[in-house]
Amino acid sequence: MLGKKLVTAQKRGETRALCLGLGMVACSMMMYFFIGITIVPFYTKSVWTTESVCKVLKANIKDKALCPNSKGSEDEDIFPYPCLQVWVNLTASGQEVMLYQTEDTLERNPKCSYVPGKSENSKEVKARIETIASNFKKYQTFPCYYDPGGMQTNVILSRLYPPKGLLFAFLWPTLMFTGGCLIIVLVKISQYVSILSAWQ
């Protein structure tokens, strides 16, 4: 009687462990799919792939510039904020080009080097932009990214999804997938050992 209870408990434990492993594998596959349709397209579309050194030539702030918050936005999404324009000398080509914060900045507003998030407090936005401009004037030389193919003549300060960030995004689903497969393999080995013990 005790032996039957132990076998039943063992089977229940194996079933739960198997369900856990399959659930982890299924969740990791969903995470892979989500990353594949969100992050990977932005990474592959970015042409600013080569790092170089940029030297600040001028950093101007145009007050009361109306800049859209996004492409195709309505009138209420357009709010005035200081438009920072930073021009740099690209060491790789020696050209004078405009600097943008990220790829998204160029898409949101090609006239400004920095586009703040939608904020009702205009004083904070103005102070932040002035701080950014003073930092550019203070640190004249810094690394930047440019398009080696020449399709984009401007440069960006940082990439939204660098290679390290993409690898980090794939790290967690990979660990979950590996853990799920390991649990399934261990359950199958346990079942095989149990069958051999029963035959003996």
Q: pLDDT by residue (tens digit) across 130-178? A: 899 888 888 889 999 999 887 888 999 998 888 888 888 899 999 999 9
Q: Which residue has the higher pLDDT, 93 or 73?
A: 93
pLDDT digits (tens, 9 = 90+) for 54-70: 999 988 888 665 555 44
For residue 190, is pLDDT > 80? yes
The model's pTM:
0.70
Q: Is the sign of the CA dihedral 41, 118, 164, 55 positive or negative? A: positive
Contact 24, 177 (CB under 8 A): yes
Question: To the nearest 5 percent, what fractions of the chain are helix, strand and coil?
Answer: 55, 20, 25
What residues does 54 pair with on adjacent strands?
Answer: 90, 142
